[in-house]
Structure 1
Amino acid sequence: MVRFINSGKEACMGVLRLARAFTGKEKLIMFDGCYQGHADAFLVKDGSDVATLCLPDSPGVSRAATSETLTVPFNDLYAVPGLFETNKGEIAPVILEPVVGNSGLIAPKPDFLEAIRRITKENNALLIFDEVMTGFRLSYGGWWSSGVFGITPDLTTLGKIIGGGLPSGAYGEEGRLWRWLSLLDQCNRLGR
């Protein structure tokens, strides 16, 4: 299924709720520099006492809203397995921008995405690619990250790129998103 909403931020909020409901777990892992919108659960910063204590780094966000959010440095292959070990059976999704676009352009190190895919499968957690920034922008022909890196996430989020810059977004299983968007493109080309 594909869920259409008004923005990439809403796509990230919805996909987090979906991942938690599907897995029955509450904790999430996100990465430094990746921005999944300004929903309370995503407003935790790594690299300080704020992160260590799972405290919010934005005024107005409650401690409870961020207590289940775990953050690690992007491209750190050793930090993610450690979080899964420390929080055994509690992590619902790992969400990340496959190519970080919100804090400069940071490409994944070789094998980083593949390692994250393997770790999530081993721990019955979902892998979510936040493609709000990268969707249809990574290569000629409009591929998103799975086409470029050969890693297929469980869920994907997209933003206004699917609406030609207008307020729009979607989340769902990547194969279904791709089929739906391909069908939409064919209809547009036929003038329907």
Structure 2
Amino acid sequence: MQITLLRAARLQAAIHETLKGLKISPRAEFSIFADFDTEVEAEKNKLVAAIEKHSKLTAALFEVRRLTARANIEAGVSGLLADQAENDMRIELLSALAAVKPFEGADISRKRADRLATQPHQASPYGRDVGPKETLDIGLLDAEAIEAYGVELLEAKKVKVDLKDRLTEKNAGTTITLGPETAGLLKAEHLL
């Protein structure tokens, strides 16, 4: 049975959810009035069935993962994912650079520093004398550089959209073929 990479991703998530929902406990509580021979045996049978189901679903999950990994490499999805991660890091950097205040010039910075230095001391609520602030936050980039980073940021965001579209296209157009046993199991579990 052939399925697209998009469907394979959803299928993997569904198998994970099914596995999480399986109750596998090697212990059980019984009433003190229970017929231990039959009730314990029934619980053992449920446990064995759950373990077997878990094992088969786990095998199916990793068959889908292996097939998906191979298809991702063959279709170039892995390379696009690396490009996307690189572009996301670039967007993060450019966003920080494009958002700073520009360098205001040495004269203005000096005036701000002088104004801070001449502020009177203030008493703190804890009884200590607090002097003026002794540091200035000064942007290091000029307005032109910040604007250039903003333009680069817009371009990187366009690249992000393009990469996302290309990934969606590849994921929708690339298929994997599930083995008949796996397909049968997943259909029986209503996952396909």
TM-score (norm 2): 0.22
Structure showing greater relative contact order (alpha-carbon pairs closer than 8 Å, 6 or more residues apart): 2
TM-score (norm 1): 0.22
Greater Rg by CA: 2
Q: If each structure's strand is expressed as a fraction of its own residues, which one has the higher value?
A: 1
